[in-house]
Amino acid sequence: MVGDSTPKAGTPGFVDEPRASWMKVPAIAGPAKPSGSPLPPIGSQPALPPPPIGETPPQESDTLNWLGGVSLRLVFFGGLPGLISGLLGLWAVKKGKATNRGEAVVGVVMNGLVFGLLAIAIGASVLPGVFGPERTEELSLGDCFDEPEVVTQSGTDVVEMFTLRSCDEPHFGEVYYVGTLTDTAYPRADEVAVRIDEQCYMRAETHLDLNNADATYYSFYYPTRQGFAAGQRSYECFVYADQDIVGSVRPTG
């Protein structure tokens, strides 16, 4: 048709079959905006809903602010009283009866640190009584022995004598490693115990038959202060179990 203004197929904005030729693709309409109150401007804060009828919003009070202040002042008095006061101060802030939350938090942190340091110091002061026992009589590698009697000398557990047994007979323990102390002065009980314990633990992997059911526990003996002064430097790692052992627990190969 002359003067036909029908656009050719494939023209932008039009589609080919299966739609009818020359059908213009309609614009996609966006979702209709709901009627009602307009949206608030970007960045504005929505108004909070009013409290229920008959209720009034809680009012802040500073009547218990003294709890946080006391917590800070009690830092130098052992930690625990100030820690409790600080925790009560945080509770008061939560209940709206105090406003100094920062002061209470600082009190809790500082008193907690002081209390923790005091607990560590008290624990360290009793460590020497935990380790041991020391012994006056030395043992040799492969010795099997009955459970010895432990006596207390000047607050320290000491073994004065061992009864040796054939390893084929029921016995308490067996020495699987003998090491040497290299200290020039008698070491502190807690320090030497940690070092010897590490050695006994490592040597157990190579000096014990760990497939043996009697390879259950290990411990050690080391010289007394008097023995050290007399020249004793050896310490003994031994293995024991919940019951008497029969036979050696050391590797046969």
pLDDT recorded at residue 8: 44
pLDDT category, 194, cuts 50, 70, 90? confident
Per-residue model confidence (pLDDT) at position 179: 93
Rounded Cα–Cα distance for residues 68 and 60 (Å): 16
Cβ atoms of 174 and 238 closer than 8 Å: yes
**Distance of alpha carbon 184 from alpha carbon 228, whole angstroms:** 10
Average pLDDT, the chain: 73
Give 146-149 contacts, CB < 8 A, sequence gap 24+. Answer: 146/171, 146/172, 147/172, 147/173, 148/172
Residue with the bigger pLDDT between 103 and 56: it is 103
237, burial (CB in 10 Å: exposed 0-12, middle 13-18, buried 19+): buried
Of 64-78, 98-112, 204-218, which gets the smallest average pLDDT? 64-78
Residue 172 parent element (H or E): strand 171-180
pLDDT of res. 173: 93
- Model confidence pTM above 0.75: no
pLDDT digits (tens, 9 = 90+) for 126-183: 333 234 467 777 899 999 999 988 888 877 888 888 999 999 999 999 999 999 999 8
Q: Is 132 helix (H, G, I), strand (E, B) or coil?
A: coil
Q: Would you say 16 and 9 are in contact if contact means Cβ atoms under 8 Å apart?
A: yes
Q: Is the peptide bond before 18 cis (omega within 30 degrees of 0)?
A: yes
Could you tell me what percent of the chain has a pLDDT over 70?
Answer: 65
- What is the distance between the alpha carbons of residues 160 and 151, in angstroms, rounded to a whole number? 8
Average pLDDT over residues 201-223: 89
Percentage of the chain lying above the pLDDT 90 cut: 19
Which has the minimum average pLDDT: 82-91, 183-192, 220-229?
A: 82-91
Contacts by 113-116, CB closer than 8 A, 24 or more apart:
113/79, 114/75, 114/76, 114/78, 114/79, 114/82, 115/78, 115/79, 115/80, 115/83, 116/79
- β-pair type (164-165, 171-180): unpaired
Residue 88's pLDDT is 82
**Nearest-CA neighbor of 245 among 167, 178, 148?**
167
**Three-state secondary-structure class, residue 101:** helix
What end-to-end distance do the CA atoms of the chain give, in Å?
Answer: 110
What tens digit of pLDDT does each residue of 74-111 get?
Answer: 766 666 777 787 788 777 777 777 777 877 777 777 77
